[in-house]
Amino acid sequence: RKLTSALHSLSRETVIDQDAVDRLLKEICVALMESDVNVKLVQQLRNGVKNTIKNLDDMAAGLNKKRVIQQTVYKELVKLCDPEIPVYKCRKKRSNVIMFVGLQGAGKTTTCTKLAYWYKRKGWSTCLICADTFRAGAFDQLKQNATKAQIPFYGSYTESDPVIIAKEGVDKFRSQNFEIIIVDTSGRHKQEASLFEEMLEIQKAIEPDNIIFTMDASIGQACESQAIAFKETVNIGSVIITKLDGHAKGGGALSAVAATKSPIVFIGTGEHIDDFEPYDTKGFISKLLNLGDIKGLVDRVNELNLDDNPDLMKKLEKGRFSLRDMYEQFQNITKLGPFSQIMGMIPGFNDFYSKGHDQSSAERLKRLMIIMDSMSDYELDNTEGCKLFENEPKRFFRVCRGSGAHPIEVQELLMQYDRFSQMVKKMGGMKGLFKEGNNNVNDRDMKMLNYEMAKMMDPAVLNQMGGVDGLEKMMKQFNDASSGKGSGGSAYPAGLFN
């Protein structure tokens, strides 16, 4: 949000003064706290940055000071997310026993299966053990998950002692030389002595190679005390954060990292077995800092180089948007045209970055443009393009024939256009959104815009736009190219410092 613009303005300033640095730091701290990052950790970051750049003036001449500041901020952020402690690495051709702990509902059982499945797909022999005798139906839940994923499992309907089940299961699977043995344990609604006793007993009985603490991202600040309590009892080695697909920014997770001194290894992003990703610091930081927030949209619109396309900006301002405008924006997408920047700011859009759509977005855009190539000037410039085609089907079928596209494709293109033009209308109707230097669109307008956009940008439409993943890649490449870094190994999340 404002952070992006703070970083922007910083990079525009020619003289770096202490004020500018303080301002930037303040913005970052606010963004982090809004994402539920613990105050102490925020303070730690602040001090870390301050210490490093204290001697900015003494730095060698020629060193790019702006870059130094940006790098420092980023490094400190990474430090918060990464305790720099080696993660337990499972070894092939031996049994690696992994025990899950965490409160009830944190997502242990779901995540156990996800992890088993992840290893299985990488060619490891994996199995699951249900040592939860507390929750009714726990074994059934694990059994169902495991069966679906075709993973061998162990549990019992009759044995009530989870320690015995865990031990029996691990012994059995060890003797069968399974490489990854995952043990699911029970949780309680809150931290209770009985739970901790049970955890400890199981740990003693099975001597796991790694204990994974599973935590629900949405619990926010409560993470710290919870993580501390678990860490005090068992020997936590890694953290998995679940439910990052929701609204939680996961700032609380940093408290867990700090408290357990254990790295985050995976994140859960949905209920499905595939909604599971190896933890990636850059992506996590982007989310923490709220990049992609709706408020950022206003900042971004204000920051756009309006000279790029004054005509389009005028039209947007008036709420007009023709098929030709869409065509031109498609052409511009690879050049980070204003349209794509705006799209990146639309709520929900960012989420799709991570979902990985394989089809080539460039190809799809090309197809859409071929369809538009079959339209007449009159059709392209009409600001009621959809109605025009609806009222005169002859036009519709002519375009289908001319472009060799299936009517459904043409229909989809028009629907997409309709949504975008509606969005532009809404934005145009908001006084001052496009006025330069204006940062205070009122809250009500903002809420409305947010709501309208979320409604319009349904996943299917975004998908048709050509796979957001591909779009993001293009933007990244452009970012890298424009900052002269080349395509590989950018040190920053895309868009964070550019």
Q: Which residues bind Mg ion (CB under 5 A)?
A: 108-109
- Pick 356 or 432: Cβ nearer ligand GDP: 356
Site membership for ligand GDP, residue 249 (CB under 6 A)? no
Is 106 one of the binding residues for ligand GDP (CB under 6 A)? yes
* Closest residue by Cα to residue 422 from 271, 316, 279: 316
Side chain identity at 32, as an amino acid letter?
A: L
268 interacts with, out of Mg ion, ligand GDP, none, CB within 5 to 8 A per kind = ligand GDP
Whether the Cβ atoms of residue 257 and residue 239 lie closer than 8 Å to each other:
yes
Place of tokens 């206003």: 298
DSSP 483: T
Per-residue tokens: 85 = 């402690």
Q: Looking at beta carbons only, is 246 or 486 nearer to ligand GDP? A: 246
Site string for ligand GDP, 259-298 (x = CB under 6 A): ---------xxxx---x-----------------------
The least CB distance from residue 285 to ligand GDP, in Å, is: 19
Q: In the complex with ligand GDP, which residue's Cβ is closer, 253 or 474?
A: 253
Q: In what order do the strands lie in the sheet with 276-278?
A: 153-154, 126-131, 180-185, 96-101, 210-216, 238-242, 264-268, 276-278
Dihedral pair phi/psi, residue 289, rounded to 5°: -85, 5
Provide the token pair at 415: 């629907």
Choose from ligand GDP, Mg ion, none: what does 383 bind? Cβ within 5-8 Å by kind.
none
Site string for ligand GDP, 205-244 (x = CB under 6 A): -------------------------------------xx-
- Binding of ligand GDP by 24 (CB under 6 A): no
Pick 351 or 445: Cβ nearer ligand GDP: 351
Which residue among 72, 107, 166, 416 contacts ligand GDP (CB under 6 A)?
107
Q: How far is the CB of 20 from ligand GDP (least distance, A)?
A: 39
Nearer to ligand GDP, 119 or 497 (CB): 119
Judged by CB, which is closer to ligand GDP: 25, or 138? 138
Q: Are 417 and 431 in contact (CB under 8 A)?
A: no
What count of Cα atoms within 13 Å lies in the side-chain half-sphere of residue 489? 0
Smaller CB distance to ligand GDP: residue 101 or 462?
101
Chain residues 351-390 in contact with ligand GDP, contact rule CB under 6 A: none
- 402 counts as binding ligand GDP under rule CB under 6 A: no
CB of 222 to Mg ion, least distance (A): 19
- State the nearest-atom distance from the C-beta of 348 to ligand GDP, in Å: 15
Q: Any contact of residue 348 with ligand GDP (CB under 6 A)?
A: no
Q: Does residue 105 bind ligand GDP (CB under 6 A)?
A: yes
What angle in degrees, to the nearest 10, is found between the helix axes of 162-175 and 193-206? 20
Residue closer to ligand GDP, measured from CB, 110 or 350: 110
Residues binding ligand GDP: number (CB under 6 A): 18
Does 252 interact with ligand GDP (rule: CB under 6 A)?
no
Contacts of 475 (CB under 8 A, 6+ apart): 336, 340, 344, 494, 495
Q: Is 167 in the site for ligand GDP (CB under 6 A)?
A: no
Binding of ligand GDP by 245 (CB under 6 A): yes
Cα–chain-centroid distance for residue 70?
21
User: Given the rule CB under 6 A, which of 3-11, 102-110, 174-182, 303-311 is the region that contacts ligand GDP?
Assistant: 102-110
337 binds, among ligand GDP, Mg ion, none (CB under 5 to 8 A by kind): none
What whole-number distance in Å separates Cα of residue 52 and Cα of residue 36? 25
* Cα–Cα distance, 469 to 93 (Å, whole number): 36
Rounded to the nearest 5 percent, the helix, strand and coil shares of the chain are: 60, 10, 35
**Nearest partner of 129 among 71, 78, 170, judged by Cα:** 170
Contact 319, 428 (CB under 8 A): yes
The DSSP line for 346-396 is STTHHHHHTT---S-HHHHHHHHHHHHHTS-HHHHH-TTHHHHHHH-HHHH
Q: How far apart are CA 290 and CA 292, in angstroms?
A: 6
The two tokens of residue 401 are 């024939």
Give whichever of 254 and 336 is closer to ligand GDP, judged by the CB atom.
254
Q: Residue 142 interacts with ligand GDP (CB under 6 A)?
A: no
Tokens of 268: 């859960």
Which lies closer to Mg ion via its Cβ, residue 138 or residue 316?
138
Query: Which spans of this chain sit near ligand GDP (rule: CB under 6 A)?
Result: 102, 104-110, 187, 242-243, 245-246, 268-271, 275
